[in-house]
Structure 1
Amino acid sequence: MVRVLRSTILPAPLEAVWEILRDFNGHDQWHPAIATSQIERGQPADRVGCVRKFRLEDGAELREQLLTLSDADAAYSYCLLDTPVPLFNYVSHVRLIPVTDADHTYWQWEGQFDTRPEERDEMTELVGSGIYQAGFDAIRAQMGLEA
């Protein structure tokens, strides 16, 4: 199993970052790879078990299910149900922690998945840079924060 862990510190209060990230269906508003997103069956985006179906900018479609959501911990986890790329058994965890001496936010994004051995490096780079780092950069830009 492959494990990818990325983290960053945002010079913003945890509550402001959580307000954006908490919306499981809001990633099309900030992540550059996401063109459109919707929650299936009209369920609320914060209901554990809800499924988001989204289309990437390149036209690929994916489905992910919300597994956990904790406002107390400013954290959630989700899994991939359908994807055109070879990420199997993919589960991801997002967690925010306050950096109290500066009112900043530590953001950790971690994923585990299986893939074909010959695609391990490519999928690790896709997840680490194309999803996680691109997301950090996009939130930083959306919030008007310095890199």
Structure 2
Amino acid sequence: MPSSGISGAEMVRVIRSTVLQAPVEAVWDVIRDFNGHDQWHPAVANSQIERGNPSDMVGCVRRFRLEDGSELREQLLTLSDIEFSFTYCLLDTPIPLYNYVAHCRLFPVTDDDLTFWEWESRFDTPSDREDELASMVGDNIYSAGFDAIRAHMELEAA
């Protein structure tokens, strides 16, 4: 494993993916809003973009509170409407996820007008917590997000 410069830290990679029963444009309309995750993700209580910047401005920072009261800050690093993708990093978090960078990308499944969604991240964490924190990110954030968007899209279609 590459060294992070943090004593006792290990690089972790988390990848989750799913197929949604909705066109890629419809899913992108929901997840593209970097400040909209409090409208669909069950872990996020509220969110705001700092300094009043637009939520699709590369470099903008969202400050949000989780349902458990934790506060986090993330920065939008890339956004591509052509590739249906964005990348962001964690700036502040009470969880020991260091050098955290995540990437979301949607792909059209053209034979049935579905969406393939891949969400991945890399981060450093204390060497005795890799499995715990990889599972927390993959299950509680990514998989829970997939389920929430799936439910959101079903409500929109009804």
Aligned partner of 1:30 in structure 2 is: 40
Structure 1, unmatched stretches of 5+, are: none
1:83 aligns with 2:86: no
SS at match of 2:79: strand
Return the alpha-carbon distance in structure 1 between the equivalents of residues 104 and 72 of structure 2.
18
How far apart, CA to CA, are the structure 2 residues paired with 1:143 and 1:74? 17
Paired with 1:144 and 1:100, the residues of 2 have a C-alpha distance of: 19
1:51 aligns with 2:66: no
Please tell me the residue identity of whatever aligns with 2:43: A
- Tell me the CA shift for residue 81 of structure 1: 0.1
Task: Give the Cα–Cα distance (whole angstroms) in 2 for the partners of residues 19 and 27 of structure 1.
Answer: 12
Report deviation, 1:33. 0.2
| Structure 2 partner of 1:41 | 51
The Cα shift of 1:72 comes to 0.4
Which of 127, 135, 156 is the aligned partner of 1:125?
135
Q: How do residues 97-108 of structure 1 correspond to structure 2 at under 5 angstroms?
A: 97-108=107-118
1:86 Cα deviation from its structure 2 partner: 0.6
Give the letter for the 1:2 counterpart: V
Identity %: 69
* Count of residues paired in the alignment: 145
Q: How does 1:4-19 map to 2 (within 5 A)?
A: 4-19=14-29
Deviation digits for residues 102-146 of structure 1 (CA, Å, limit 9, x no counterpart): 00000000000000011111100111000000000000011118x
Q: Which amino acid aligns with 2:36?
A: G
**Structure 1 outlier segments of 4+, above 4 Å:** none
Deviations 1:5-58 (A, max 9, x none): 000000100000000000000000000000000000000000000000000000
Question: In the aligned structure 2, how far is the partner of 1:121 from the partner of 1:96?
Answer: 26
TM-score by length of 2: 0.91
Distance 1:124 1:68 in 2: 23
Q: Which has the larger radius of gyration?
A: 2
Aligned residue type for 2:90: L
What is the distance in 1 between the residues matched to 2:70 and 2:96? 13
Letter in 2 for 1:42: G
Q: Counterpart in 1 of 2:5?
A: none
Note if 1:139 corresponds to 2:146: no
- The residue type paired with residue 93 of structure 1 is H
Give the structure-1-normalised TM-score. 0.97
Counterpart amino acid of residue 109 in structure 2: V
